[in-house]
Structures are given as C-alpha cells and as structure tokens.
C-alpha cells in the first residue's frame, strides 16, 4: 500500500459495480480518512463494454482478465461485484496474493465455498468484508444502537420482509439471477440474505432454527437475448428452466429468545425494493422501512399512557450514524449512501486496523441460515441452523 492511497481493483461493473464505483469516487470527498481510494482498474468479460464502463464509472484502466488485478503489486484491494459463482475463486486468489477483499453478498453460492472463504480470511494478514450494505443505512445503524443499548428490553418479535416485483411478468427472460449455477439461489440468497444479516445485526442475536417454504411460480422463461445489465433483460428465442426460488418464507427462532417471520420475494407486485423490519421488545418497538430510509419509528412503552404512540425520528442529525459528514439536519440521503458508508468503514479499518464487519465469518453465518431454510423447505420440517 502506498502512503496515502488505497488502490482498488474491481471485478464486475454492472449494477453493484456501478454502486461500488459511486462509493469509491465519493468517499474521500465526504469523509476525512487516513487513506485516499484510488480507482486503479476494473475487470469484465467483454473488452469494449468494460472499457466503456471504466470510462463512465471513473476507473483509470480496464482489463478482461481479473487475475491481472490480483497479480498487480500496485493494487491493494480487490472489490468483487460479480455473480456469486465467481466470488470464491476471486476472493481466495486475492487473499492468497495478500490483497484486502470486499465481496458482494451473498458471500458464496455454496456452504463449502463460504467455509473456504471464511477460513482463508481468518488466516490472511489482509482484511476482508462482505457487502451487506443495509447495515450502513444510518436509520438501520441507529436501530441497532437502540436495541443493543437495551431500550427495548428483551426482544420478542422480529418481522422482516424484502419485497420486489421485477420478474412478475412470465415473459421476463432467464437472467443469471434465475439460474442456480450462477446465483446459488433466488430471492432467498439475493434479498433474503439481506434481511437475515440485518436482523441478526440489529438484534445481536443469531437465528438458531427455521421452518421454511420456497416457491417458484414461473418455472420456464425465455432465454435472454443479450447481456442483461442490472435487473433488466431482453428475451431472445427459446425457453429455459428457472432453477431458483421466486419466493422464500420462513419462521425463525433466535438464539436470544426472539421469534421471527421472514419473507423474501420477487413476486410482490408493485413493491420495487421494499425492505421493512419491525422489532417488538418488552419496553418498546422499532420499525425501519427502506422506502423511508431517513426515518426510524420508535414506540416507548415506558412513557405515561397518554404520551404513548409511535413517533418518527428523522435520522438526519449530525449525532446519528455517518451523518455528521453529510448535510445539515433535515437534508435527506438515499440508497447509494449505504455503499459510501461501506467504503468509509472499509478504508478506515484497513488504515487503522479496526474491526471490519460483516466479516466473511459473519457472512458464513448468514449462509448457514440460507442453507437451513433450503433444507427446511425441502424436508417440510423445523431445521436447526
Ligand atoms: C436485486 O434483487 C438487488 O439488486 C440485490 O441484488 C441487491 O443486493 C439489493 O440491494 C437490491 O436488489
């Protein structure tokens, strides 16, 4: 690592790659950090497309071979923004080469891969983190502060949904997110993983057992006509089998005594990116809704009866997580800021040796829950994580 720079090489440049690029571009302009992110090079499969992406997203160079990024002595960090089927290979190579690694969620497509990644990360001198970015929405981070400081007392209920609708149309093509060999699972791993991570983070409790069902409503879809960026796609001729879940629902028991309900679906017609979590405790409740991400709802059951009621905390104060670096109170932020906060924490921890969470071990913990959900759904029985 050079004295003032943290030199980044990113693999993948589609939706998540664009979000990470935005974060690396912005982070030092907002936060005062010991190291300055330098966007050295981005890797992708098609020379012309990755070169255009590099230009648009702000990378100095592009390559069609991610291994050259891992081999370069002038790169300190490998940022993995590819589909899940390449996370393990890239992360293991990067850690072996002494690079710090930021890996998009879910950590891997299988438990074996996730275990290998977690042990390589534990053995490495380099630092690593998995990109569960919603932990870094200020209102979600504040929710954790409230829960872990004991304001709610014992936690009784955790209610979590992550609702999308981008594949409701049966004519939507068979993009990589709908193929198990590329993505590992469907709604479960893609968005269910977020609410598993977020609820475990906010409550400080791990999920111990689950009773689940999964469903695939549309089992055959048109083959995609061209490389689909983001959540888009154009149909070509021919059909292929959908090999992942469209929806995953489960009940959960947390190790600390709370009980939970979880729903992750891509068939919630009209819900574009609806992540909502409510926590009920013995002294109060908290509710977070990503569509109103600058707010946290808080109910304090210890107030005198006539004063009780959910109140809306506008999470834009300088005393709230991450916000002192942004705008004056009341000047709201958005979805992309969670990635900037992720980049902030990554750079800070690499520079200072501070804690870097979620670690690959934390992300393996999420993966164990996803695995239990799949086992429970296929057995039709309560299953231990
Ligand atoms: C698609 O469902 C997706 O882009 C996820 O992959 C992201 O993790 C989520 O933040 C938004 O939706």
Cite the beta strand spans of 232-326 per DSSP E: 235-241, 247-254, 259-265, 274-281, 284-289, 295-300, 311-314
Are both 104 and 39 inside the same structural domain?
yes
Pocket of ligand 1 (CB under 6 A): 15, 164, 190-191, 231, 273
Q: What is the predicted pLDDT for the residue at 158? A: 98
Q: What is the pLDDT of residues 109-148, one digit of tens each?
A: 999 999 999 999 999 999 999 999 999 999 999 999 999 9
pLDDT tier, 237 (very low <50, low <70, confident <90, very high otherwise):
confident
* Interval between CA 276 and ligand 1 midpoint (Å): 14
pTM of structure: 0.97
* Interval between CA 16 and ligand 1 midpoint (Å): 8
Q: What is the predicted pLDDT for the residue at 230? A: 61
Percentage of the chain lying above the pLDDT 90 cut: 96
Are both 75 and 24 inside the same structural domain?
yes
Q: What is the pLDDT of residues 240-279, one digit of tens each?
A: 999 999 999 999 999 999 999 999 999 999 999 999 999 9
What distances in angstroms separate CA 131 from CA 5, 17, 70, 217, 219, one per listed residue? 21, 12, 19, 29, 30
Alpha-carbon gap, residue 292 to 264, rounded angstroms: 19
* Interval between CA 151 and ligand 1 midpoint (Å): 31
Alpha-carbon gap, residue 123 to 355, rounded angstroms: 16
Are both 72 and 217 inside the same structural domain?
no
Q: What is the predicted pLDDT for the residue at 228? A: 53
Give the residue, out of 191, 276, 339, with the most ligand 1 atoms within 8 A of its beta carbon, to mutate for a pocket test. 191
For 296, phi then psi, to 5°, come to -135, 130
- Among the residue ranges 194-198, 229-233, 279-283, 371-375, the one predicted with the least confidence is 229-233
Are both 282 and 360 inside the same structural domain?
yes
Q: What is the pLDDT of residues 276-302, one digit of tens each?
A: 999 999 999 999 999 999 999 999 999
Are both 157 and 196 inside the same structural domain?
yes
Q: What is the predicted pLDDT for the residue at 2? A: 45
Q: What is the predicted pLDDT for the residue at 377? A: 98
Are both 145 and 122 inside the same structural domain?
no
Q: What is the predicted pLDDT for the residue at 229? A: 56
Are both 29 and 65 inside the same structural domain?
yes
Q: What is the pLDDT of residues 17-54, one digit of tens each?
A: 999 999 999 999 999 999 999 999 999 999 999 999 99
Give the residue, out of 273, 275, 336, 337, with the most ligand 1 atoms within 8 A of its beta carbon, to mutate for a pocket test. 273
Tell whether the model's pLDDT for residue 57 goes beyond 80: yes
pLDDT tier, 343 (very low <50, low <70, confident <90, very high otherwise):
very high
| Domain edge (last residue) among 76, 108, 134 | 134
Alpha-carbon gap, residue 11 to 78, rounded angstroms: 7
Are both 225 and 336 inside the same structural domain?
yes
Q: Which atom, in ligand 1's list, is nearest to the CA of 187? A: 2
Average pLDDT over residues 157-172: 98
Residue 307, number of CB atoms within 10 A of its CB: 8
pLDDT tier, 225 (very low <50, low <70, confident <90, very high otherwise):
confident
Q: Which atom, in ligand 1's list, is nearest to the CA of 193? A: 8
| Average pLDDT score, the chain | 96
Domain count along the chain? 2
* Interval between CA 231 and ligand 1 midpoint (Å): 8
Average pLDDT over residues 188-212: 98
Q: How many CA atoms lie within 13 A of 144 on its CB side?
A: 17
Q: What is the predicted pLDDT for the residue at 385? A: 98
Are both 140 and 130 inside the same structural domain?
no
| Domain edge (last residue) among 134, 169, 199 | 134
CA–chain centroid gap for 10, Å, is: 17
Q: Which atom, in ligand 1's list, is nearest to the CA of 164? A: 2
Cite the beta strand spans of the chain per DSSP E: 5-11, 36-43, 61-63, 77-80, 100-104, 128-131, 155-163, 207-215, 220-224, 235-241, 247-254, 259-265, 274-281, 284-289, 295-300, 311-314, 383-384
* Interval between CA 302 and ligand 1 midpoint (Å): 38
* Interval between CA 190 and ligand 1 midpoint (Å): 6
Are both 15 and 140 inside the same structural domain?
no
DSSP-derived secondary structure for 42-106: EE-SSHHHHHHHHHHHT-SEEES-HHHHHH-TT--EEEE-S-GGGHHHHHHHHHHTT-EEEEESS
| Packing angle, helices 360-379 and 193-203, rounded to 10 | 120
Percentage of the chain lying above the pLDDT 70 cut: 98
* Interval between CA 98 and ligand 1 midpoint (Å): 29
Are both 277 and 380 inside the same structural domain?
yes
Tokens of 347: 């750079």
* Interval between CA 192 and ligand 1 midpoint (Å): 10
Of the chain, the end-to-end C-alpha distance in Å amounts to 39
What distances in angstroms separate CA 229 from CA 22, 100, 127, 176, 244, one per listed residue? 17, 27, 30, 10, 19
- Could you tell me the residue range of the domain that residue 9 belongs to? 5-134
Give the residue, out of 84, 190, 246, with the most ligand 1 atoms within 8 A of its beta carbon, to mutate for a pocket test. 190
| Domain edge (last residue) among 134, 162, 180 | 134
Q: Which atom, in ligand 1's list, is nearest to the CA of 190? A: 6
| CATH number, position 278 | 3.30.360.10
Atom 6, ligand 1: residue with shortest CA distance = 190
Residue 34, number of CB atoms within 10 A of its CB: 12
Instruction: Yes or no: say if 125 and 99 are a contact pair by the CB < 8 Å rule.
Output: no
Are both 306 and 224 inside the same structural domain?
yes
| CATH number, position 54 | 3.40.50.720
């Amino acid at each position: 690592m050079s004295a003032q720079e943290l030199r980044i090489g990113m693999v993948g440049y589609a939706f998540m790659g664009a979000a990470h690029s935005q974060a690396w571009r912005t982070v030092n302009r907002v936060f005062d950090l010991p190291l300055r992110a330098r966007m050295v090079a981005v890797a992708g499969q098609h020379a012309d497309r990755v070169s255009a992406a590099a230009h648009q997203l702000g990378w100095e160079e592009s390559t069609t071979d991610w291994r050259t990024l891992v081999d370069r002595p002038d790169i300190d960090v490998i940022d993995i923004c590819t589909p899940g089927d390449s996370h393990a290979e890239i992360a293991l190579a990067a850690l072996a080469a002494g690079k710090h690694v930021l890996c998009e969620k879910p950590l891997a497509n299988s438990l074996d891969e996730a275990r290998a990644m977690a042990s390589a990360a534990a053995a490495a001198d380099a630092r690593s983190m998995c990109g569960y970015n919603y932990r870094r929405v200020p209102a979600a981070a504040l929710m954790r502060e409230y829960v872990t400081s004991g304001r709610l007392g014992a936690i009784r209920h955790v209610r979590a949904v992550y609702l999308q609708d981008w594949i409701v149309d049966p004519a939507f093509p068979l993009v990589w997110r709908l193929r198990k060999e590329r993505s590992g699972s469907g709604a479960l791993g893609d968005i269910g993983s977020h609410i598993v991570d977020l609820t475990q983070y906010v409550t400080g409790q791990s999920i111990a057992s689950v009773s689940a069902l999964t469903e695939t409503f549309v089992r055959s879809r048109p083959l995609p006509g061209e490389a689909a960026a983001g959540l888009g796609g154009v149909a070509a001729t021919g059909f292929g089998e959908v090999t992942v879940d469209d929806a995953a629902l489960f009940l959960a028991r947390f190790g600390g005594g709370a009980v939970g309900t979880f729903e992750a679906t891509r068939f919630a017609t009209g819900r574009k990116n609806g992540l909502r979590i409510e926590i009920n405790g013995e002294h109060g409740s908290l509710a977070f809704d990503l569509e109103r991400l600058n707010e946290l709802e808080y109910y304090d059951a210890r107030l005198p009866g006539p004063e009780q009621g959910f109140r809306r905390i506008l999470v834009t104060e300088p005393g709230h997580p991450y916000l002192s670096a942004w705008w004056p109170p009341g000047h709201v932020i958005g979805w992309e800021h969670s990635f900037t906060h992720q980049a902030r924490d990554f750079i800070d921890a690499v520079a200072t040796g501070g804690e870097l969470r979620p670690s690959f071990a934390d992300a393996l913990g999420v993966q164990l829950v996803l695995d239990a959900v799949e086992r429970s759904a296929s057995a039709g029985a309560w299953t231990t994580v």
